[in-house]
Amino acid sequence: MNNKIIIGIIILLGAVAGYLFLRQGQGTIKPELKDFAVKDTASITKIFLVDKAQKSVTLTRINKGRWKVNQKYYARRDLINVLLKTINLLEVKSPVSKTSRSNVITRLASGATKVEIYQGEELPSKVYYVGGATQNTMGTYMLIEGSSEPFITHVPSFFGYLSTRYATQLDLWRDKTFIDLQFKDIQHVQLEFPGDPTYSFSILNKGNWDFELRSLYNDSVVLDYDTVGLRVYLTGFKNIQFEGFEKEKDQHYIDSIFESRPVHALTVETIDGHVNYMQAYLKPDEEDRLDINGEPMLYDVDRLYARINGGKELVTIQYYVFDNIILGLPDFLKGTSKARERSKI
């Protein structure tokens, strides 16, 4: 038989097989049972996530750019954006093979996270279950509520699995922003150093690019200061975040930290009167590190403890993140000014 004829027959048979496979697949599975995505994420008002251990979070939209978690805390914008993008772009990669179907369903039943998506109505518009990763970690097992057909899902152009985007840990979703202000929005900054009051100062925005620097030690206005350095300093209050929550210490330990003398206390007031304040405390070193003399370090050289806005929670902050806004009064004086240089680190 002519080679061209053989090749033509093979191509024809392949096309027919492919057509029959697609037709069978489309005919046996209802489209709504594999429709995980929500194309209009701007209409989503609430997302409820709960796992098999009954850990849950409720994410609620409060305005165009902000969400709250469990109606109590602001939610992290970066994680919210990632979740909404996932919900929007989610696609079925392939059905689960018949040989794996029973095992996948069992795993979903014992360890999946339930996802409820609301679009302004009392009842959810979409409910599905998110399981674990496929063996090659390039897909995620999911199941629409009311269906018995699990699927392998993915987000196009993303190489990995999606389970972690549907986290149910409250602290993971909580916004860790201490302050996020533009230069123009700052009315007053006060920084106190209880261990050395000569470093304590305040800055008052008097309007029209006029600022007052005051020494808190002797309550006097400082006239001869680096005006450029001070203005550069005030640009450093953008997206300042604490590192995390201290969850391994008991209340007695937390109270003992709060009762100790702060290293410094920072208060920032906005033009519209909103006030954020923080006390920072030395954090005992727990890594058995030695100093340059071979002596055990008493305190962590990378982190401090902190208390935000008088709250009851103990959080950690990194020197690296806060160094540009934790300056002393001498850092603004002409001849000794470090405000400009510190802002460039």
**Res. 107: pLDDT tops 80:** yes
How far apart CA 53 and CA 201 sit, in angstroms, is: 50
| HEC-encoded secondary structure of the chain | CCHHHHHHHHHHHHHHHHHHHHHHHHHHCCHHHHCCCCCCHHHCCEEEEECCCCCEEEEEECCCCCEEECCCEEECHHHHHHHHHHHHHCEEEEECCHHHHHHHHHHHHHHCEEEEEECCCCCCCEEEEEEEECCCCCCEEEEECCCCCCEEEECCCCCCCCHHHHCCCHHHHECCEEECCCHHHEEEEEEECCCCHHHCEEEEEEECCEEEEEECCCCEEECCECHHHHHHHHCCCCCEECCEECCCCCHHHHHHHHHCCCCEEEEEEECCCCEEEEEEEEEECCCCCECCCCCECCEEEEEEEEEECCCCCCEEEEHHHHHHHCCCHHHHECCCCCHHHHHCC
Each residue of 150-187: pLDDT tens digit? 999 999 999 999 999 999 999 999 999 999 999 999 99
Give the mean model confidence (pLDDT) for residues 205-224: 94
Mean pLDDT calculated for residue range 4-20: 43
Phi and psi at residue 59, to the nearest 5°: -105, 120
Q: Kindly report the average pLDDT of the chain as a whole number.
A: 89
Q: How many whole angstroms from its chain centre is CA 289? A: 30
Share above pLDDT 90 across residues of the chain, in percent, rounded to a whole number: 79
pLDDT of 2 above 70: no
Position 74: which residue type?
Y
Going by C-alpha positions, the residue among 328, 314, 329, 317 that lies closest to residue 179 is: 317
In whole angstroms, what separates CA 194 from the centre of its chain? 32
Indicate if the pLDDT at residue 217 is higher than 80: yes
pLDDT at 17: 41
For the entire predicted model, the pTM comes to 0.80
Q: What is the pLDDT of residue 32?
A: 60
pLDDT of 12 higher than 60: no
Q: Domain residues of the chain, as ranges?
A: 32-173, 177-343
Residue 229 has pLDDT above 60, yes or no: yes
Question: Cβ distance 331 to 338 under 8 Å?
Answer: yes
Structure tokens at 201: 């100062």
For the chain, how big is the Rg over CA atoms in Å? 29
Give the model confidence (pLDDT) of 133-150 as tens digits.
999 999 999 999 999 899
d(CA 109, CA 102): 11
- Residue 111 scores a pLDDT above 90: yes
